[in-house]
């Protein structure tokens, strides 16, 4: 059974790119367009890992992460920020991996494999 990744990002090009990269690497993927959608899909999909954009409409990545950490079922799921942000917002964990856009595919796949395997 393949590992599952939830991609949370509002940019359709980034979502399509990440979905293709992860699917080709053997992961099962699901996508969400903002933090609210991400919370609902994380609860239903039960991913092994979440990739998270920070700047999104409705509920941004920081607010998603704060709510995720307060949810006992979602809190243990590893999260990797993939965003064009500058400095990491203070409400995000210092140990949270951050990949800046443009995305380095090799680095991204390595970080994910290190966190959850293939």
pLDDT at position 89 is 61
Cα–Cα distances in angstroms (integers) from residue 52 to residues 1, 82, 85, 100, 102, in the given order:
23, 6, 11, 11, 14
Which residue from 48, 2, 3, 12 is spatially nearest to 32, judged by alpha carbons? Answer: 12
pLDDT at position 2 is 92
Return averaged pLDDT per consecutive 10 residues of the chain, 118 residues in all.
Answer: 94 96 97 96 98 86 91 96 71 77 94 92
Which residue from 14, 76, 63, 75 is spatially nearest to 37, judged by alpha carbons? Answer: 63
8 Å CB contact between 9 and 82: yes
Six-digit token string for 62:
């920081």
For the chain, which domains are there? 4-116 (3.40.50.2300)
pTM of the entire structure? 0.92
pLDDT at position 41 is 98
Which residue from 99, 75, 27, 100 is spatially nearest to 6, judged by alpha carbons? Answer: 27
């Amino acid at each position: 059974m393949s590992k599952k990744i939830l991609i949370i990002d509002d940019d359709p090009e980034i979502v399509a790119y990440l979905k293709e990269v992860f699917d080709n690497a053997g992961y099962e993927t699901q996508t969400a367009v903002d933090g609210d959608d991400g919370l609902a899909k994380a609860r239903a999909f039960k991913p092994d890992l979440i990739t998270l954009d920070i700047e999104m409409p409705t509920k941004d990545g920081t607010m998603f992460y704060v709510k995720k950490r307060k949810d006992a079922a979602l809190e243990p799921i590893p999260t990797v920020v993939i965003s064009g942000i500058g400095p990491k917002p203070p409400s995000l964990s210092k140990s949270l991996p951050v990949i800046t856009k443009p995305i380095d595919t090799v680095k991204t796949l390595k970080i994910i494999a290190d966190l959850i395997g293939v």
